[in-house]
Amino acid sequence: MYYGVVSSFASVFLLAKGFSNWNIGVTLAVANVLAVILQPVIADIADRAKKLSVIGISEILTVLMMAGTACLFVSSGSMAALAILFILLIAWHTVLQPLFNSLTFMLEETGVHINFGIARSMGSLAYSALLAVLGTIVEKCGVMSLPVTGEITLAMLLISLILTKRSYDKGKKLEKGTASAMPKAEADAEGTQSADESTAVLCEEESINLVQFIKRNKVFFLVNVGVIGLYFSNSVLNNYMMQIVDVVGGTSEDMGRILSVMAFCEIPTMVCFDWLRKRFSCQLMMKVASVGFAVKIALCWLANSVTMIFLAQFVQLVSFALFLPAMVHFIDEIMSKGEAVKGQALFTTMITVTTVISSLAGGAILDMSGAKMLTFVATIATTIGAVIIIATVDRVKRK
């Protein structure tokens, strides 16, 4: 939900504060460059840290975002201060994403089954519900309603993390209790095996940095290069939907509803993802989703009315909604345990790199040639990304 405030409505907020499209593009680009730098560092800390858990790191980042969002109320007169705040807020929020993906599988180790598709779809439902009304709220109450909404969503996130930590700690205690109840000989044998496995995994985690990881997973890296092209259109639509809608006579209220429809269309696919996964491979679903991305942005490029842009969002059923869970599970399937977090971090980093490129290119193209040219360029980039993924994903070897 916070993504809807700080990213989806970033153009609306910053345009109201006097930013140009180029200023907005640079701000978003710098934010995502910072996120690219922070993501592997935080992922490495999450892999190695003994006392600081993934949940603990997530709680710290959430508190930082709450403080940063509060500062939006007192810095609205300074463009430089606003730019810095948005850079920090977007970067911190982006860093959270691979942590949450890894948290899913960490919780499963304690016996808590997480249906990633359903969990992620609930995020889409909340985002959809928020954006369905947020555009109207901004139209009636002004852009300062955005940081108020942001604080509310972050408070909800912090409470969720606290409750999740309690559940995780309880599961770990039960796990230890079960282990202590085992016969001594069996416990010793299993403990020795577990210790050996843990030591091997720990050594692997500590010995591989991100550069070495890429060298060891070259084909997987090529798949992620395809992600850059594929997500170019996704980033353009998220960052510049206001400008795209404005060309066909739309308002910020229309923008909010369009993004709401787009998010709502993610829910059916994500809810059914476990069922789909039993019948189709992650690789096949990623190929289908790649085509879906290209079709969706092409329809937005061809649109000459708000209604056509609305209709294009239904392709989300077989694009982003299918690709994200398929990619997350694909990484978990092919990666060894010691590389899993870095695999998720690389995927999220590539999405962030895409946002940097699309932010800079998008702002420049909008100022020079307008929204139609931007959606045309996005269509070309997304099609290239789809071709790369279709050509490489079956060549990635399991470990």
Lookup result for tokens 């970067």: 91
Residue range 73-106, pLDDT digits in tens: 876 667 888 889 989 998 888 888 778 777 776 7
Give mean pLDDT, residues 339-355. Answer: 80
Lookup result for tokens 């990619």: 327
d(CA 235, CA 198): 39
d(CA 55, CA 157): 12
d(CA 43, CA 36): 11
Instruction: Give residue 392's pLDDT band: very low, low, confident or very high (50, 70, 90).
Output: very high
316 close to 270: Cβ distance less than 8 angstroms: no
On the question of pLDDT at 370 being above 60, the answer is: yes
**Could you state, in order of their start, the residue ranges of all structural domains in the chain?**
2-177+208-393
274 close to 142: Cβ distance less than 8 angstroms: no
Q: Which tokens is 161 given?
A: 């993390």
d(CA 391, CA 213): 21
Mean residue pLDDT of the chain comes to 82
CA torsion, ordered 371, 374, 379, 380, to nearest 10 deg: 150
Lookup result for tokens 């519900």: 129
Give mean pLDDT, residues 144-150. Answer: 89
On the question of pLDDT at 248 being above 60, the answer is: yes
d(CA 21, CA 141): 23
Which amino acid makes up residue 19?
F
Which amino acid makes up residue 360?
L
Task: Please tell me which residue, 116 or 252, carries the higher pLDDT value.
Answer: 252
Nearest-5° Cα angle at 191, 189 to 196: 100
Q: Which tokens is 52 given?
A: 């600081």
Read off the pTM: 0.71
The radius of gyration of the chain's CA atoms, rounded to the nearest angstrom, is 21
397 three-class SS:
coil
Helix, strand, coil fractions of the chain, as percent rounded to 5:
85, 0, 15
- Using left for φ > 0, alpha for ψ between -120 and 50, and beta otherwise, residue 18 falls in left
Q: Give the DSSP per-residue string, 98-157.
A: HHHHHHHHHHHTTT----HHHHHHHHHHHHHHHHHHHHHHHHHH-TTHHHHHHHHHHHHH
Q: Which tokens is 98 given?
A: 């691979």
Lookup result for tokens 């890894």: 102
The closest alpha carbon to 377, from 387, 366, 386, belongs to: 366
Give mean pLDDT, residues 364-372. Answer: 91
The closest alpha carbon to 161, from 274, 304, 58, 32, belongs to: 58
Give mean pLDDT, residues 22-42. Answer: 84
Residue range 312-339, pLDDT digits in tens: 999 999 999 899 989 988 888 887 766 7
The closest alpha carbon to 24, from 297, 256, 358, belongs to: 358
Q: Which of 7-21, 70-84, 201-215, 285-299 has the highest mean pLDDT?
A: 285-299
75 three-class SS:
coil
Which amino acid makes up residue 11?
S
Lookup result for tokens 């398929």: 326
Helix (H), strand (E), coil (C) string for 160-188? HHHHHHHHHHHHHHHHHHHHHCCCHHHHH
Q: What is the pLDDT of residue 298?
A: 95
- Using left for φ > 0, alpha for ψ between -120 and 50, and beta otherwise, residue 78 falls in beta
Nearest-5° Cα angle at 160, 268 to 98: 65
d(CA 362, CA 364): 5
On the question of pLDDT at 196 being above 70, the answer is: no
d(CA 17, CA 77): 8
Instruction: Give residue 65's pLDDT band: very low, low, confident or very high (50, 70, 90).
Output: very high
Q: What is the pLDDT of residue 373?
A: 95
On the question of pLDDT at 141 being above 90, the answer is: no
Instruction: Give residue 202's pLDDT band: very low, low, confident or very high (50, 70, 90).
Output: very low
d(CA 288, CA 152): 37
Q: Domain 2-177+208-393: which topology? A: Growth Hormone; Chain: A; (1.20.1250)
Residues 6+ apart with CB under 8 A from 307: none
Q: What is the pLDDT of residue 399?
A: 63
Q: Which tokens is 215 given?
A: 């060298």
Q: At what angle do helices 340-368 and 371-392 cross, to 10 degrees?
A: 150
Percent of the chain predicted with pLDDT > 90: 26
